[in-house]
Every structure is written in C-alpha cells, then in structure tokens.
C-alpha cells in the first residue's frame, strides 16, 4: 500500500526517500535509458537517481547499427561494453536495443558500393553476421534484445523499409532466428510505437502469432511509450496490452515519456522535422501549473494501468532520467523545451512520482451509519403488512425474478462502482444484499469524466430455464451501450464479462425467455421516423438467440409513443415483456421519472404484437394526488412483476420521498405492492390510492470490518487500482491521492447511500496534513458539483484546522454556484491527535419542512461533541437542485497535494 517512509534530513533525502525499484520492483523491472555521459559518471545528479530508482538499463543509442557497426568490417563496442559493465557493476538487468531498425541504420548495411540494394542473399548474410556478432559478444550478460524495431505501419501492413524491400516479411523471422542461435538463453522482443492504433495492434498480433507458428522464440512485445497530452487514450493502450498478452507473450513498456507540449504527430521517427514556430515552444521557462496537473494525472493513470496489469508485465522503461536529458528537446523543432520525464531539470521527482512513492495516508478507525426510525406499515390486499420503501436509499429501477423459493432483485447504479446491486429474499419482504453483479473493472470501466448520472441504467434480471442461466441486461450510458452478463448462481457473485449488443439501441433493454424456448429483447429507443414531439419514444422488440448470445431477425416497433399517442405521452421506457396464461403483456413507464411518472400496460397474442392498451391505465401513479398531502410518495413507476409460488403477484417499482417542494436527498428508492388482476389485466395500485412509507430503524452499521467492505459500500467511478487497506484490527488506511472530489475522476472515497432524512454517521480519523490541499474526513456526495466535505486539513498559514466546505450548483442555473467554508483552528497540541467526526441529518417538523445537516467533532471517544458552523440545508444536495438520478452518498474521503517535496520527518512521526 503506502511505501515505507524513513525520517530523513534534507541532505540525506536522496538516500532515504522511497525508490521506484523498492516500491514496484516486485511487480516488474523498472528501467531507464542511459546516455554515454551518464554511463561515464559525468552526470552525478542523474547517477544518484539511476542507482536509487532503477534496476534495469538500456542504451539510448550506442547499440544501434549506425553506432555499433558503422562500417561493414568494423564494430565499435566501446560504448556498448561500458553500459553492460555499468549494469553488472550496479546489479542492474541490461536490455539490448536494438538489432534491426530501419532508422539510425548504418548507411552501408543494405546497399552495395554503387548505392544500389544488395541481393537478398547478401542482406541475409549481413543480417546474420551483424546479429550473431553483437548477441554472441554479450551472451549471458544481456537479459533480452529488441530484435526488430518498428516493422509495422499504422494500418497493420509492413513498413516499406530497406529490409522489407529486399527480403519482404521474411526479414523479421530471420532476425529472431539469428538472435536465438547466437544466444539461446536470451529473451527476444518485438518493439514498436503507436501501439494504440487498432491497425498496428492487429498487425503486431498477427506477426507474433506468425513467429510462434514458425517455432521461433518471442518473449515479449514492447509498447513504446512515446505519448502526448491527447494521445493515446488509456483505454486503447490497454486494449493493445491485453491483445498482445493474449498471444502468450509478456508486455514491456519501453521508451516511456509523455510530451507536455502541443502535439505535432504521435510518431517517433527522428528524421521528421517541421519549421520552427513559436507555438511549438509554448513553455520556454516552465510548465504552467494547469498543464502540469493534466500531465501528472495522465502519467499517474498510465502507471496505474501498468500496476493493474502487473501479471502480464515484464518491464517499464523510461526514455531518459530527467527532462534535460530527453531527446524530445529540440524535437521536432530546434529550440523546443520539453518536460516529458519522471524527474525535472533539477532532478526533483514530478508530483505524480511523489504520489506513487510517498503517498499520504489517512487512517480511519471506523465508520458507522445509523437511523432511528418509526413503525408505519401499509396493508396489502390480504391484510398482511408491507414496509415501504422495500429498499430505502438510492436503489432505483428495480427488476425482479424468482426461481423456486429464491427471489433476486437488481437496481441501477449509474457512475458508481461496483455496479448493479443485487439482493436476495425468500419471502419478498426480508432482503439481503449479495453484493454487486458488475464487481470487476473489466465488467464496468466507468471512465474519468463520466457524469455521475451516466453509467448503468435500468438493469433487468431474468432466468432462462432452457439453459439454467440467470441473465442481467442493462445499458452503459456514455459507456458502450447495451450488454448482458450471465451466471448459473447469483449467490456466488461471479458473473461473466459483458457481451455487448451494438445492434440494440436506446436504453432499458429487458429479456423474455418464453415457454417455447424462444427469447426476446425489448428496449426503449427513438421512434421509427422523426420524433413528432418532445419525449416521443418507442418500444422495440427483436428475437434473441440464447444459444449463440446474439440477436436474430429484424427489430420492430411494438409501442409508439405510449397509451394514447394523440395526447403526446412522453418517455415510454423501462419495458418488461411477460407471457402469462397465453397472453403477452408489455409493461412500461410513461411520463419520465419525475412527478408525472406512471406505469402502463398493453396486451397482445404475440410478442410482436399488435399491442393494445389494457382497459385500465395507468396501473400505478401518484401524479393526480394533492400536492400538499402529508408525507408524500411521488414519481412512482418503472415497475417489474413477479409471481409467488402460491400464485400471488407483486410489483417492485421506484418512488421518491420528497421532504419539501420536491426536494429529496435519497433519490429513487425501491417499493413493493401486491398486484390485483381485474378484467384480464394486472393493477398495481388503483387510481387515487396513496402510498405511505416507513422511516426504518437501522442500528449502527459499519462501512467495513476486518472481513472487508460492507456489501452496500461503493466507490465513485471505477478504481484503477486499490487505494485502501484494512488491517487486522479493522482500521482502514485510505491513500490521499491528488484527485479531488470535484475533478470528475475517481477520488479516494468510499461510501454508502443515506436511507433516511434523519440519520447519524460517525468516523474516527488520524491524519497529518502537510499542505492546505491535504484533506481527510467525512463526505456527503450527490455529484461532482454538489457535495459537502468535513475534515482535517491546513489553513492558508499551514496551521492545522478543521474545514467544513459546501459546494453546490443549480441544474437550472449552471452559472450559479454555492460555495461556503467554515474553518475551526486546532491547537498545535491537538494536531497529531485522533479526531472524531460526525454528521447528523435532522428533519424539521414545521410547516416549511426541511432537512438539515449538522457537523460536529470531538477529541474524546464520541462524546463532548463540538458543532462546527450552522446546520446546512440538504436542499443544496437535493435532486431538485443538482439534477440527475441519484441519491446522496455518505462516507469517507481524502486527497493530497504532491506538488512540493513532502516533510518526511513529520510523515514518519505520524506513521
């Protein structure tokens, strides 16, 4: 987790700071490219960093043919010998770079004395002599060789180099053959740049497979890390890593650096030049903080990617020690000043590297959430008692299925991870969360920048008796579209990777596995023609081949607009198709998920229709009730039906508990009601009937235990790597990463949904901030713009304090922000103490009912609380203010500032 920090004085810092090879050397080799001055010991500052941080080295230039083999009968081994000896002396793994490359190629290599291409036979012999001589010289001393460099073009074809002109594709396997013959124990690599391009990716995969089919040795593919501020994307780079690893080779990140300047091109051909323009050298003095932040965030994201896939990684090699060493200075235009490497020109680590090596950590002893509720139940048709909401908190868009005596229920999860909470019950009334369906990053890559109300919408869970598999189908909004996953047992918590259905558009797909073995997918999408009014949508159907996991046939519109198109019904969505007693029923929501929400139903004799509205519609709504009613439940709809073993029917659906003028902070919750059948159709609630709710009691519930996070715990977007650790005593160490809560990224935050307007949440934290941007404490989070933070930090004078910070932004007035901050100074004697933090939700019972949050702290175990500031109106976090579809998360959060070298003595003291 956090690297061990040793107390140090400034003059001994280089010797005692954590190092890259110590922190990550157990995952993969940490390499660096060296130049002749560094190998000769003429750059003392670089030498200290090389010895401290790296356990692998590679030569920048001295092993390329133009330098090591300048004339046909003359080799120049002096520089190459020096780097091999340097590696051996310092117990570093040496990598050979590179044997065959079209660039920096010795001028004589492929031509005769008249400058004409030599014959294939001559070039083969020259190639063999060159490779054999060099590899044999360092046999047993160099771990592996970049045998062929940059042979594949962006489109996947072979580069039309001199080697290709004369030998065709054959030159690549010949090079690998000659290298293996010269040193059978040496590893052999293929190395190339721009590996995020799909064409080159496919071409290299084909090349690797071809070498393996020929029985030739290839151990790894090197992905040159010549990157920029706008290329490559982490996602495309990761796809290439996984594609190459799937061929059975290891992955190496070679030549890693990231330009901080405007992109000219994303190649690395050093013969390219462009005319000097001032715009190409925008930062001649220093990198602006705004640009530095983006650069560091991208470098951190890529290193996180490497750590995440350490199981397929062999090495990460940076192409130079410090910014001043980079070949990208003066490239592609003379005079250009670059900032692409891990250490700056003063040989100081960049902020992302400080964050990797010396992370600040907040220690949370505990976090508990509790509610003091009341008893208020609503009788079903048979007089038994129901408690609503069935699932309090932000658990919207419920879908349910039953197999035997087991009921399973799933909900939307939006941009929170893990995705799709799944619940189990044997009686429909008592539910236990099993965890989440999408519980692996490979299933749910919620990207930075994704809006909180994007992500996973309206999952549908169904059981297919014909293959005994459970299916969960859903939409990844702004993230890939419609897909499904399967499992043979939801209790195992092991669902398949997603199978996407690109031909199924729109949102809210749902399955029907019919009695005859056929299956269908229904979904919401735009109508067949041009929409006739705002909110004009349609329900589509197509057949699904569950044996081959694909759709078949043409899709068809089965509902256009809604029950009565002449009335311009809006947002027909959330469809579910049922086959009950010979009749097909299509149930869907109308009116949008706001106060006009309702549930409607249609019937037909065929799954493809024609569907006609049933006689009684809507079958569920609260939109026509008085707005001034006491304790209203609103927005009801988005329902799903289930039948009990005894033949009774129930419906789960979403609803909202607003506290005043439409403001709510729990979001859309899951409710349950019995279903009555009348005139051949189901009715969830007769018109005019009022739904009541219960404020349930919840005993203090921990967010984690020594066994791990609670089932209800979740993160904001998908973590790229783990940033927390729970020790044997139950304390949780949360790494203070540089990502802040409003950065629209993946902050160090863990939380759960609040389930009632009145609640109590408490935590105990130990944290020693070293900069005003450092923070650890409690958070209430609706989205990236609307949240409240309460915790420990430093003030502008670097003195310890508590801060209560409120951020809010109206969805209707995007230029109107609400921000407030209350600061409580702490005594120096209290600076190192463990602190207790609490937030309490209270609902006023006046005519103008409101919900307010009170924040308090203490230095004694949960007593002698001191309130900070005035109570804060929950309106600032409500859906009415912030928009979107979620509730409010409460939990823990920390962040850190790594722009300055840390105070290692202070941090060691805290540790």
Of the candidates 661, 893, 673, 676, the one whose C-alpha atom is nearest the C-alpha of residue 792 is 893
The length of the chain, given as a count of residues: 911
| Residue from 17, 150, 543, 669 carrying the catalytic annotation | 150
Alpha helices (H) in 183-231, listed in sequence order = 198-213
Token pair recorded at residue 381 = 């048709």
Asked whether the beta carbons of 205 and 243 are under 8 A apart, the reply is: yes
End-to-end alpha-carbon separation of the chain, Å? 13
Look up residue 262 and give its DSSP letter: -
Contact (Cβ atoms closer than 8 angstroms) between residue 321 and residue 38:
yes
324/186 Cα distance (integer angstroms): 33
Distance CA 242, CA 719 (A): 18
φ, ψ at 205 (rounded to 5°)? -60, -45
910 catalytic? Reply is: no
Q: Is residue 163 a contact partner of residue 126, using CB atoms and an 8 Å limit?
A: no
Cβ 619 vs Cβ 601: under 8 Å: yes
Structure tokens at 362: 């907040």
* Token pair 């307007």: residue: 757
Q: How big, in percent rounded to 5, are the helix, strand and coil portions of the chain?
A: 20, 35, 45
Q: Which residue has the tokens 């490239």?
A: 331
**Cβ atoms of 524 and 572 closer than 8 Å:** yes
Residues contacting residue 282 through CB under 8 Å, at least 6 positions apart: 261, 262
Q: In angstroms, what is the C-alpha Rg of the chain?
A: 32
The DSSP 8-state label assigned to residue 567 in this structure reads G
Residue with tokens 């790894």: 220
DSSP assigned state of 349: B
For 577-641, the DSSP string reads EEEETTEEEEEEEES-SSTT-EEEEEEESSTT---EE-SS--SEE-TTS-TT-SS--EEEEEEEE
Residue 853 vs residues 438, 639, 792: alpha-carbon distances, Å: 32, 32, 18
598's tokens: 């309702």
- What pairs with residue 794 in β-bridges? 800
- Which positions ≥6 away from 73 have C-beta within 8 Å? none
CA distance 721 to 306: 10
Does a cis peptide bond (omega within 30 degrees of 0) precede residue 470?
Answer: no
Q: Tokens 């409101």, residue? A: 850
DSSP, res 777: E
Residues ≥6 apart with Cβ < 8 Å to 870? none
CB atoms within 10 A of CB 102: 19
- Catalytic residue from among 60, 187, 238, 255: 255
Q: What is the DSSP letter of 7?
A: -
The answer for residues whose C-beta is within 8 angstroms of residue 240's C-beta and 6 or more apart is 195, 196, 201, 223
Q: At what angle do helices 198-213 and 171-182 cross, to 10 degrees?
A: 50
CA neighbours closer than 13 Å in the CB half-sphere of residue 523:
26
3-state secondary structure of 165: helix
Could you tell me if 225 and 237 are in contact, meaning their C-beta atoms sit under 8 angstroms apart?
no
Q: Please give the structure tokens belonging to residue 212.
A: 């393996």
278 is catalytic: no
The β-bridge partners of 805 are 789, 821
CB 675 within 8 A of CB 684: yes
Residues identified as active-site: 150, 255
């Amino acid at each position: 987790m956090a690297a061990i920090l040793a107390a140090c004085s400034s003059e001994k810092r280089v010797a005692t700071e954590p190092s890259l090879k110590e922190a990550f050397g157990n995952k993969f080799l940490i390499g660096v490219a060296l130049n002749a001055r560094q190998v000769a010991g003429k750059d003392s500052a670089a030498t200290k960093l090389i010895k401290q941080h790296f356990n692998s080295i590679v030569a920048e230039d001295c092993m390329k043919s133009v330098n090591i083999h300048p004339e046909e009968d003359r080799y120049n081994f002096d520089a190459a010998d020096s780097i091999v000896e340097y590696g051996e002396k310092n117990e570093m793994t040496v990598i050979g770079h590179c044997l065959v490359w079209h660039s920096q190629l010795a001028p004589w290599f492929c031509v005769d004395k008249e400058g004409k291409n030599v014959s294939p036979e001559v070039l083969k012999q020259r190639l063999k002599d060159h490779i054999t001589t060099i590899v044999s010289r360092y046999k047993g001393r160099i771990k592996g060789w970049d045998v062929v460099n940059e042979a594949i073009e962006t489109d996947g074809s072979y580069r039309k180099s001199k080697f290709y002109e004369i030998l065709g594709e054959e030159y690549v396997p010949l090079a690998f053959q000659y290298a293996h013959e010269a040193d059978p124990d040496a590893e052999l690599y293929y190395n190339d740049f721009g590996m995020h391009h799909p064409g080159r990716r496919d071409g290299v995969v084909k090349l690797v497979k071809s070498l393996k089919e020929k029985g030739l040795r290839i151990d790894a593919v090197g992905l040159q890390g010549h990157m920029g501020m706008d290329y490559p994307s982490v996602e495309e780079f990761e796809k290439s890593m996984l594609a190459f690893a799937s061929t059975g080779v290891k992955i190496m990140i070679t030549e890693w650096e990231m330009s901080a300047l405007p992109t000219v091109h994303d190649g690395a051909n050093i013969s390219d030049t462009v005319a000097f323009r001032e715009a190409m050298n925008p930062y001649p003095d220093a990198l602006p903080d705004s640009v530095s932040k983006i650069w560091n965030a991208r470098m951190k994201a890529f290193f996180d990617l490497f750590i995440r896939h350490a199981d397929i990684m062999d090495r990460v090699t940076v192409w130079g020690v410090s910014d001043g060493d980079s070949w990208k200075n003066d490239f592609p235009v003379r005079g250009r000043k670059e900032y692409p490497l891990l250490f700056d020109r003063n040989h100081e680590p960049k902020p992302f590297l400080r964050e990797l090596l010396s992370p600040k950590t907040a220690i949370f002893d505990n976090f508990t959430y509790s509610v003091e509720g009341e008893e208020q139940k609503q009788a079903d048709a048979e007089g038994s008692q129901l408690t609503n909401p069935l699932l309090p908190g932000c658990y919207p868009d419920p879908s349910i299925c039953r197999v035997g005596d087991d009921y399973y229920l799933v909900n939307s999860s939006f941009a929170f991870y893990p995705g799709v909470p799944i619940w189990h019950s044997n009686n429909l009334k008592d539910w236990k969360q099993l965890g989440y369906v999408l519980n692996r990053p490979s299933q749910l890559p919620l990207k930075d920048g994704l809006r909180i109300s994007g992500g996973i919408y309206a999952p549908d869970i169904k059981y297919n008796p014909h293959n005994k598999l459970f299916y969960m189908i859903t939409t990844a909004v702004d993230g890939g579209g419609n897909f499904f996953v399967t499992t043979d047992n939801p209790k195992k918590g092991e669902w398949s990777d997603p199978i996407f259905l690109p031909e199924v558009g729109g949102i809210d797909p749902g399955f029907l596995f019919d009695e005859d073995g056929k299956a269908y997918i229904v979904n919401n999408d735009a109508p067949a023609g041009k929409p006739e009014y705002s909110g004009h949508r349609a329900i589509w159907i197509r057949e699904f081949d569950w044996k081959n996991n694909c759709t078949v046939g043409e899709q068809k519109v089965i509902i256009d607009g809604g029950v009565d198109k002449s009335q311009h019904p809006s947002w027909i969505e959330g469809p579910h198709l049922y086959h009950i007693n010979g009749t097909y029923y299509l149930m869907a929501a109308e009116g949008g998920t706001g106060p006009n929400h309702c549930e409607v139903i249609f019937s037909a004799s065929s799954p493809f229709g024609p569907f006609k509205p049933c006689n009684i519609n809507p079958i569920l709504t609260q939109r026509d009730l008085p707005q001034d009613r006491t304790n209203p439940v609103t927005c009801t709809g988005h329902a799903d039906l289930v039948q009990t073993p005894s033949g009774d029917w129930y419906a789960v659906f979403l609803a909202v508990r607003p506290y005043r003028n439409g403001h709510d902070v729990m979001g859309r919750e899951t409710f349950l009601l019995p279903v009555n059948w009348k005139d051949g159709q189901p009715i969830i609630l007769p018109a005019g009937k009022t739904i009541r709710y219960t404020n349930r009691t919840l005993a203090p519930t921990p967010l984690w235990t020594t066994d791990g996070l609670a089932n209800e715990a979740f993160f904001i977007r998908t973590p790229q790597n783990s940033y927390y650790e729970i020790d044997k005593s139950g304390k949780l160490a949360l790494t203070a990463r540089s990502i802040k809560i409003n950065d629209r990224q993946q902050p160090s935050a863990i939380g759960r949904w609040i389930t009632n307007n009145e609640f109590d949440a408490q935590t105990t934290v130990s944290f020693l901030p070293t900069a005003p941007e450092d923070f650890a404490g409690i958070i209430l989070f609706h989205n990236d713009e609307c949240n409240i933070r309460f915790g420990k930090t430093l003030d502008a004078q670097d003195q310890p304090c508590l801060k209560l910070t409120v951020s809010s932004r109206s969805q209707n007035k995007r230029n109107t922000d609400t921000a407030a901050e209350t600061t409580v100074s702490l005594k120096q004697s209290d600076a190192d103490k463990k602190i207790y933090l609490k937030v309490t939700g209270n609902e006023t019972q006046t005519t103008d009912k409101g919900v307010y949050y009170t924040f308090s702290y203490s230095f004694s175990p949960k007593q002698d609380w001191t309130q900070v500031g005035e109570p804060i109106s929950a309106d600032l976090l409500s859906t009415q203010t912030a928009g979107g579809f979620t509730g409010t998360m409460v939990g823990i959060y920390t962040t850190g500032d790594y722009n300055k070298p840390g105070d290692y003595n202070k941090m060691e003291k805290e540790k």
